[in-house]
């Protein structure tokens, strides 16, 4: 099973979760790799995914790299290199032909624009994969999560579940209470909870929750 991983915002831990999931799947003998269709700014996320994927060729993991640290649509305009969505879709299909599981990581949040009249949600719809939403556990997470879940559902896509990612060691009241209420408010199961600094993922527990 392959998944499309998005986040409630940028910097919420999508790459960390994807890397941990890929490493855990591969440790179980599963043929899993990562895919970062488009990067804006540095290429660090794609490098982490390539390393987690057993050293997969970086250009297969990340076919489109834009240097400006802005949304891909804007970066493409600045660099006179508009992103071709068909290239992103074909990059996924190429990996899917060679590997049993492809973990696709979006850029930023769910509605980040990639090209003219085309954003992350459109890419997810074109790939047709179950969506995993990574929630940065902080004040505001409830609002961002509910809005994103509503938008995913509006596209008619399957939401496999939520991943709660703790962004700091010390938890404030919002971070402590978020997990207990977020599943109730959205009706979406929590697949995993990642503690700040955690370097592993229980893949059996994850797969059981995702089934």
> Which listed residue (14, 16, 36, 99) is catalytic?
36
> Is 36 part of the annotated catalytic residue set?
yes
pLDDT band at 206 (very low <50, low <70, confident <90, very high): confident
**Around Cβ 154, how many Cβ atoms within 10 Å?**
9
What's the average model confidence in pLDDT over 67-75? 97
State residue 195's pLDDT score.
86
Domains of the chain: 26-130+154-161 (3.40.50.300)
- What the block records as the tokens of 71 is 């949304």
Given this model, what pLDDT does residue 24 score? 95
Banded model confidence at residue 203, pLDDT cuts 50, 70, 90:
confident
**Res. 76: pLDDT tops 90:** yes
**CA gap 101, 82 in Å, rounded:** 29
């Amino acid at each position: 099973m392959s998944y499309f991983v998005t986040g409630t915002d940028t910097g919420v831990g999508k790459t960390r979760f994807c890397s941990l999931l890929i490493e855990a799947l591969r440790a179980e003998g599963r043929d899993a790799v990562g895919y970062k269709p488009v990067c804006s700014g540095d290429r660090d996320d794609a490098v982490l995914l390539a390393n987690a994927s057993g050293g997969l060729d970086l250009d297969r993991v990340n076919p489109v790299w834009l240097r400006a640290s802005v949304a891909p649509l804007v970066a493409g305009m600045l660099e006179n290199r508009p992103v071709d969505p068909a290239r992103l879709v074909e990059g996924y299909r190429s990996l899917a032909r060679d590997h049993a599981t492809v973990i696709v990581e979006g850029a930023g949040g769910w509605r980040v624009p990639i090209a003219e009249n085309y954003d992350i949600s459109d890419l997810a719809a074109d790939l047709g994969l179950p969506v995993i939403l990574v929630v940065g556990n902080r004040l505001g997470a409830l609002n961002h999560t509910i809005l994103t879940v509503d938008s995913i559902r509006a596209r008619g896509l399957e939401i496999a579940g939520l991943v709660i990612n703790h962004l700091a060691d010390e938890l404030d009241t919002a971070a402590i209470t978020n997990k207990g209420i977020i599943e109730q408010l959205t009706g979406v199961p929590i697949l995993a909870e990642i503690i700040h600094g955690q370097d592993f993922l229980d893949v059996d527990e994850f797969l059981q929750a995702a089934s």
